[in-house]
Amino acid sequence: MRKFHKVFSMGFVALLSLSLVAGCGTAQKTASGGSGDSNTPIKVGGNLELTGGTAMFGQAAQNAINLAFEQQNAKGGVLGRQIVLDAADNKSDAGESTSAVTKLVTQDKVVAVIGSMTSSVTLAAVPVVTDNKIPMISPSGTNSKLTVDPATNQVRPWIFRACFIDPFQGQVAANFAINNLKAKAAAIIIDQKSDYSKGLADAFKTNFQKGNGQIVGTEQYVAGSDKDFRPILTRIKAENPDMVWVPGYYQEVGLIVKQARELGMKMPFMGGDGWDDPQLFNIGGNDALNNTYYVDHVATDDPGMATFVKDYKAKFNSEPNAMAALGYDAANLLIKAIEDAKSTDPEKIRTALENMKGFNGVGGEITIDPKTHNPLKSAVIKENKDGKSVFLTRVAP
């Protein structure tokens, strides 16, 4: 009996040891981003402006990301697992962005982050995802220093974007002003708190002057606090520019154009993708916004957008804007990267994003430049006319 007990004990210990080894092997595979438990969803962080000054951007992107994930899950998910968005509200604020993304990567353990929508708020999250080695895709952060560190001129390895950058946007706008608006003299109005606004202002100025255009005046304001723009507009009016470049967001842009028209300023106004929101017309007024133009990423009347527009309207009962399209592209770009990586390991996802070529997004084909992490893609020019944004032309990179 004792001999049997001894043999049984040795056998049990051996069996237990084998079980522990097998268990460790499974745990290591999951932790390293392997197939994982099919019942455990792939969690993606969303660092989004859901409240605050640019909430319309973040809310549109959140809708579109959820739509992309829902559609993918209906096809069987990613790597056999469902993919879900863990959205955090950065309140359109840089400090809140740091806090939001810190929670996403350290507590919620997301495999990647999508967001945020504006350059300054995105930039605040860069150190957090870099330190924690988590890839981040900004759908619409256009400032060039988001993905390339200006101090070292080296690419930020964990940061990507789904949109073109400010230098390209400024070049497109300056060429349109010179060639289409026939402008020889321009004035610029800058949001002094915004990296986005300052970057676009510099890019436009450089390219406008290269085309023999003259900058006759530059004025500044503070977004969120300034509401009366008549003093700076009066100074600009005195310079009699052929057009005015306003690289800001729709809340202030609407007021600026409205007050300019009230002062009798009839020249064209133009801006960047920060103009793109239906609220612009509610703030500025349909008549005031006639003879204004802006550079954007997509146009909803583009045939390539038809299916996305239909699906978005069916689910949310509203027309998608460019921020929704960019959020949708960022979500699908991440899905494709996870599939290409065959893993949820952040390093493997990062490598897949860096090598992404020929991705077909609703905003056009995207190829990521591994040296800058910027996509090679086209832009569109839109005209505001009788309360609607009308597609004028597409400009290739």
Question: Does residue 16 lie within any of the structural domains?
Answer: no
- Among the candidates 296, 311, 326, a domain finishes at 296
Predicted confidence band at 302 (pLDDT cuts at 50, 70, 90)?
A: confident
Q: Look at residue 108 in the predicted model and tell me its pLDDT.
A: 97
Question: What pLDDT band is residue 376 in, cutting at 50, 70 and 90?
Answer: confident
Q: How far is CA 74 from CA 31, 77, 324, in A?
A: 26, 7, 20
Q: Specify if 25 maps to a domain.
A: no
50 plus 153 within the same structural domain: yes
pLDDT digits (tens, 9 = 90+) for 206-259: 999 999 999 999 999 999 899 999 999 999 999 999 999 999 999 999 999 999
What angle is formed at CA 259 by the lines to CA 202 and CA 250, rounded to 5 degrees? Answer: 55
Same domain as 368, residue 262: no
Domain termination site, one of 296, 315, 346: 296
pLDDT of residue 351: 98
End-of-domain residue from the set 265, 296, 327: 296
Model pLDDT for residues 78-99, shown as the tens digit of each residue = 999 999 999 999 999 999 999 9
Confirm whether 174 is domain-assigned.
Answer: yes
Supply the DSSP string of 167-180, one letter for each residue.
HHHHHHHHHHHHHT
Give Cβ neighbours of residue 380 (< 8 Å, ≥ 6 apart).
295, 296, 297, 298, 299, 302, 391, 392, 393, 394, 395
Task: Tell me, yes or no, whether 171 and 148 share the same domain.
Answer: no
Indicate whether 147 and 86 sit together in one domain.
yes
Residues 222 and 244 in one domain: yes
Taking the model in full, what pTM does it have?
0.76
Residue 395 lies in a domain: no
Please report whether residue 356 resides in a domain: yes
Q: What is the dihedral of CA 211, 215, 221, 227, to 10 degrees?
A: -90
Strands, DSSP E only, in 317-378? 359-361, 364-368, 375-376
Distance CA 78, CA 344 (A): 10
Cα 11 to Cα 4, 21, 215, 329: the distances in Å are: 11, 15, 86, 56
138, 116: one domain: yes
Query: Do 110 and 195 lie in a common domain?
Result: no
Q: What is the number of domains present in the chain? A: 2
Looking at the structure, tell me whether residues 193 and 123 fall in a common domain: no
Q: Is residue 347 part of a domain?
A: yes
Q: Is residue 318 part of a domain?
A: yes
Q: Do you find a cis peptide bond into 116, omega within 30 degrees of 0? A: yes
Q: Is residue 271 one of the residues assigned to a domain?
A: yes
Q: Is the domain of 171 the same as that of 263?
A: yes
What's the rounded mean pLDDT across residues 170-194? 95
For residue 191, give its domain range: 167-296
Residue 291, number of CB atoms within 10 A of its CB: 18
233-237, 328-332, 357-361: least confident range: 357-361
Do residues 78 and 111 lie in contact, with contact meaning Cβ atoms separated by under 8 Å?
no
Q: Are residues 63 and 179 in the same domain?
A: no
- Same domain membership, residue 95 and residue 152: yes
Per residue in 1-52, pLDDT (tens digit) is: 434 344 334 443 343 343 433 333 333 333 333 445 678 999 999 999 999 9
d(CA 392, CA 164): 18
Average pLDDT, the chain: 90
CATH number at residue 263: 3.40.50.2300
Residue 131 pLDDT > 50? yes
H or E segment at 280? helix 279-284
Q: Based on the fold, state whether residues 141 and 228 are members of the same structural domain.
A: no
